[in-house]
């Protein structure tokens, strides 16, 4: 029901955040070189 959907959305948000954080770190490293 709604709980399953809420869990799915939360996991998606975490996955997107982790992807964004990883990209930001990569960009930061490139910038420091």
CA–CA gap between residue 17 and residue 1 (Å, rounded) = 25
Q: Residue 23 has which token pair?
A: 């990209």
Q: Consecutive sets of 10 residues in the chain, 33 residues long: mean pLDDT of each?
A: 97 94 85 78
Predicted confidence at residue 13, as pLDDT, reads: 97
Predicted confidence at residue 21, as pLDDT, reads: 87
Predicted confidence at residue 6, as pLDDT, reads: 98
């Amino acid at each position: 029901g709604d709980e399953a959907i809420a869990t799915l959305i939360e996991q998606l948000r975490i996955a997107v955040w982790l992807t964004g954080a990883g990209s930001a770190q990569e960009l930061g490293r490139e910038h420091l070189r």
